[in-house]
């Protein structure tokens, strides 16, 4: 998220300076897009689809680190009092703010980016609505639905009291007027996008009709506000970050079939950002990354609902460009929230790399693209970013989350606080850690894709089939599938064969080995008649590999199978430990001094030898390796990056 207080230089070519802020789009309505069949969607899909996502309610994660993260995030969501979450909304409407406790104290306002002096206030409640509805869909726990219902009811009260033709926010409508007038303001449409998306999710996942009613009234206000504007005025307005407003209105259109909602989505088409991408031009250098990414999520939705081929071209070209030229080994992108010169990864190993919201949105875009083609490369990236960036965003001790994931050798993660941060990446984290079940399985008309190896169950009611997946992956190389069905069923199972699995694969069906003709980077297809109790055992042997930067082969990260490794560098001179926060400076993460000791080693003497010659497994410690080949001769232990918390680390190494 761009620092409004210190960064005012980002601009589109040929435009005046504008304050830009971050994006944290909530694709919300995962159940509304082409990747998921939904009885709530009224508009038919115009794009050809090869794979459909299961509804989130049909997948249950049963154990493991993803389940643990999801549970911690759920506890955080439930711990935030409605009175505090609604305080800024009620203040904006001039309403009485309910007393708490002894009825003599006003509710304590939330801090950080939700403070009453922050122009972005109100963005978190949209993410929280999405997080609650996603948790409800993922677990069936009624506490999440009830909490979401109470927030929706409170928002309905505020909208009624405001009485501004449907307008609803925690800040005055003048912020939108300032945006339209092209004067300095911190991303009011971005903030509204979160609210639109959260309300759609509450309707989609939790069946809350009032949420849809509130949202349609908000859309009516937006139509009246924007319809009088000239094309030139709209394009000036869109220079400021607007999150995924195009995506939000496309999703609303899918639910309501109201052509006014389609028109609203199309009004948020930003020519300066999107036309170059439609023409195959990489215009990303120096652009604020998470301002751009959600626009492409909206473009993907446009293609699905209208068949707009230009939108498909832009989304596909953008994804390929970002993955090839702008992505670090853990799946994240950007330095100080901005794209840089293509491929120059080795020059941007700083303490401000890889805003987590960027990866949250890249995964949304990836889901769309996978459904169009069922290409394994999209599932490979999804696994890379999910395990190595998103999973590691959350501190397993406190449950708090990171904004950046520093690639600077010797840096360490900085964490949020329960109620005094509310950065954009806190908001997207409420969603990311609540919807892990969304991309484990997909299906076509015939069979099931198994894309991720996470302990879980999927229920395909239309086929009368339930599949249980048991594994300790990635700490083990084997995953086991058990088929449950009342009647025999003929169906293919498409097993993802990861591109990293160059050592081959072993597949057994009911104990009998299966001959494998496919190559890594594809799908192994088992097409047979299944009966209740059939078992499939899949083994993908893992091996060590270097992940060199595109611009310098002598600078590389190290991976083992799907897992990125980080060298553990201890806690010497760490100025902040989790949960980290400076209440006097909510933007401390920019230019933060990690005070890296000179003793931190990030050079390895490979002497031209194979990686297995200088990096050895540690007995009894899964996914842990050790080397003494540092220039200082120090013993360095490496373990999965997602596990390295509350200490310094090295991800990228200089190789001699």
- Same domain? For 339 and 450 the reply is no
The dihedral through the CA atoms of 7, 13, 15, 21 has a sign that is: negative
pLDDT digits (tens, 9 = 90+) for 582-601: 555 555 556 688 999 998 99
In a domain, 13, yes or no: no
Please state the rounded mean pLDDT for residues 236-259. 98
In a domain, 197, yes or no: yes
C-alpha distances (whole Å) from 168 to each of 23, 162, 178, 549 are: 20, 7, 17, 46
- Same domain? For 507 and 554 the reply is no
In a domain, 229, yes or no: yes
Check whether 1 has a pLDDT greater than 50.
no
When the pLDDT of each residue in the chain is averaged and rounded to a whole number, the result is: 91
- Same domain? For 366 and 496 the reply is no
**Locate tokens 């801090």: which residue?**
111
pLDDT value of position 585: 58
pLDDT value of position 17: 26
Structure tokens at 274: 């999107």
Phi, psi of 534 (to 5 degrees): -60, 145
Q: At what angle do helices 65-79 and 142-162 cross, to 10 degrees?
A: 40
How many whole angstroms separate alpha carbon 156 and alpha carbon 432? 26
- Same domain? For 184 and 326 the reply is yes
Q: What is the CATH number of the domain that holds 518?
A: 2.60.40
How many whole angstroms separate alpha carbon 349 and alpha carbon 334? 10
Please state the rounded mean pLDDT for residues 68-85. 97
My answer on whether omega of the bond before 474 falls inside 30° of 0, hence cis, is yes
- Same domain? For 318 and 425 the reply is yes
Q: What is the CATH number of the domain that holds 427?
A: 1.50.10
- Could you tell me if 89 and 155 are in contact, meaning their C-beta atoms sit under 8 angstroms apart? yes
How many whole angstroms separate alpha carbon 619 and alpha carbon 631? 24
In percent, how much of the chain has pLDDT > 90? Answer: 87
In a domain, 193, yes or no: yes
Put simply, whether the predicted model's pTM sits higher than 0.75 gets the answer yes
- Same domain? For 410 and 494 the reply is no
DSSP annotation of 579: S
- Same domain? For 425 and 468 the reply is no
In a domain, 19, yes or no: no
Examine the fold and report which residue of 416, 439, 462 is the final residue of a domain before the chain moves on.
439
Check whether 15 has a pLDDT greater than 90.
no
pLDDT value of position 29: 37
pLDDT value of position 584: 56
- Same domain? For 416 and 513 the reply is no
Structure tokens at 214: 């509130």
Check whether 6 has a pLDDT greater than 50.
no
For the chain, give the number of residues. 656
The dihedral through the CA atoms of 385, 387, 388, 394 has a sign that is: positive
- Same domain? For 504 and 587 the reply is no
pLDDT digits (tens, 9 = 90+) for 93-133: 999 886 555 445 677 889 999 999 999 999 999 999 999 99
pLDDT digits (tens, 9 = 90+) for 24-65: 233 333 434 444 435 677 888 999 999 999 999 999 999 999
My answer on whether omega of the bond before 579 falls inside 30° of 0, hence cis, is yes
pLDDT digits (tens, 9 = 90+) for 335-374: 999 999 999 999 999 999 999 999 999 999 999 999 999 9
pLDDT value of position 631: 86
pLDDT value of position 41: 76
pLDDT value of position 508: 98
In a domain, 48, yes or no: no
pLDDT value of position 589: 56
- Same domain? For 387 and 532 the reply is no
List the one residue out of 330, 373, 337, 377 whose CA is nearest residue 353. Answer: 337
How many whole angstroms separate alpha carbon 350 and alpha carbon 354? 10
Please state the domain count of the chain. 3
- Same domain? For 642 and 532 the reply is no
In a domain, 139, yes or no: yes
Cβ neighbour number for residue 44 with a 10 Å cutoff: 8
Examine the fold and report which residue of 439, 463, 495 is the final residue of a domain before the chain moves on.
439
In the chain, what are the helix, strand and coil shares in percent, each to the nearest 5? 40, 15, 45
DSSP annotation of 241: -
How many whole angstroms separate alpha carbon 233 and alpha carbon 230? 5
In a domain, 50, yes or no: no
- Same domain? For 484 and 360 the reply is no
C-alpha distances (whole Å) from 475 to each of 25, 465, 471, 540, 560 are: 32, 28, 9, 12, 11
Residue 246 Ramachandran class (φ > 0 left, ψ -120 to 50 alpha, else beta): alpha
Sheet holding 448-450, edge to edge: 52-53, 441-443, 448-450, 489-497, 522-530
pLDDT value of position 577: 54
* Domain enclosing residue 630, as ranges: 544-655
Angle, CA of 182, 184 and 186, to the nearest 5°: 110
């Amino acid at each position: 998220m761009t620092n409004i207080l210190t960064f005012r230089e980002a601009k589109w070519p040929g435009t005046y300076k504008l304050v830009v802020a971050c994006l944290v789009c909530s694709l919300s309505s995962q159940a509304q897009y082409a990747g998921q069949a939904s009885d709530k969607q009224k508009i038919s899909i115009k794009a050809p689809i090869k794979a459909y996502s299961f509804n989130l309610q049909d997948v249950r994660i049963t154990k493991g680190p993803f389940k643990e993260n999801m549970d911690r995030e759920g506890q955080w969501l439930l711990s935030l009092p409605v009175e505090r979450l609604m305080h800024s909304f009620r203040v904006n409407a001039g309403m009485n703010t309910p007393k708490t406790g002894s009825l003599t104290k006003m509710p304590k306002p939330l801090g950080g980016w939700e403070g009453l002096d922050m122009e972005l206030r109100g963005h978190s409640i949209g993410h929280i609505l999405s997080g609650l509805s996603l948790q409800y869909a993922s677990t069936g726990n009624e506490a999440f639905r009830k909490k979401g219902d109470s927030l929706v009811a409170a928002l309905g009260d505020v909208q009624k009291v405001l009485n501004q033709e449907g307008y609803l926010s925690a800040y005055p409508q003048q912020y939108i007027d300032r945006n339209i007038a092209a004067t300095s303001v911190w991303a009011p449409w971005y903030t509204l996008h979160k609210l639109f998306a959260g309300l759609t999710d509450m309707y989609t996942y939790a069946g809350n009709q009032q949420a849809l009613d509130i949202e349609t009234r908000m859309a009516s206000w937006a139509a009246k506000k924007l319809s009088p504007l000239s094309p030139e005025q709209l394009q000036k307005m869109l220079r400021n970050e607007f999150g995924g407003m195009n995506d939000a209105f496309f999703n609303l259109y899918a639910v309501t079939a109201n052509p006014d909602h389609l028109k609203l989505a199309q009004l948020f088409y930003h020519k300066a950002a999107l036309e170059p991408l439609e023409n195959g031009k990489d215009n990303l250098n120096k652009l604020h990354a998470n301002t751009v990414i959600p626009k492409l999520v909206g473009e993907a939705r446009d293609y699905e609902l209208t068949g707009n081929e230009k939108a498909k071209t832009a989304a596909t070209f953008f994804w390929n460009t970002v993955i090839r030229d702008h992505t670090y080994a853990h799946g994240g992108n950007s330095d100080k929230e901005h794209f840089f010169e293509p491929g120059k990864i080795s020059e941007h190993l700083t303490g401000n790399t890889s805003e987590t919201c960027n990866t949250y949105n890249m995964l949304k875009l990836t889901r769309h693209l996978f459904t169009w083609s069922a290409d394994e490369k999209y599932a490979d990236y999804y696994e890379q970013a999910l395990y190595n960036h998103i999973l590691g965003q959350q501190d397993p001790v406190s449950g708090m989350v990171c904004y950046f994931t520093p690639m600077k050798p010797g840096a360490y993660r900085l964490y949020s606080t329960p109620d005094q941060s509310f950065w954009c990446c806190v908001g997207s984290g409420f969603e990311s850690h609540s919807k892990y079940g969304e991309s484990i399985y997909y299906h076509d008309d015939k069979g099931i894709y198994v894309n991720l190896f996470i302990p879980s169950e999927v229920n395909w009611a239309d086929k009368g089939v339930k599949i249980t997946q048991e594994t300790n992956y990635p700490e083990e190389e084997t995953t086991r599938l058990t088929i449950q069905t009342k009647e025999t069923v003929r169906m293919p199972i498409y097993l993802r064969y990861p591109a990293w699995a160059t050592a081959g694969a072993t597949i057994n069906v009911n104990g009998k080995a299966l001959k494998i003709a496919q190559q890594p980077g594809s799908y192994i297809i088992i097409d047979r008649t299944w009966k209740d109790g059939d078992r499939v055992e899949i083994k993908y042997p893992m091996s060590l590999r270097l992940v060199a930067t595109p611009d310098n082969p002598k600078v590389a990260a190290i991976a083992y199978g799907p897992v990125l490794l980080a060298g553990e560098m201890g806690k010497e001179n760490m100025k902040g430990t989790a949960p980290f926060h400076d209440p006097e400076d909510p933007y401390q993460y920019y230019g933060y001094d990690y005070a890296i000791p000179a003793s931190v080693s990030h050079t390895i003497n490979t002497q031209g030898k194979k990686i297995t010659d200088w990096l050895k497994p540690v007995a009894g410690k899964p996914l842990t390796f050790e080397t003494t080949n540092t220039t200082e001769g120090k013993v360095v232990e490496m373990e999965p990056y997602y596990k390295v918390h509350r200490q310094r680390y090295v991800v990228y190494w200089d190789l001699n």
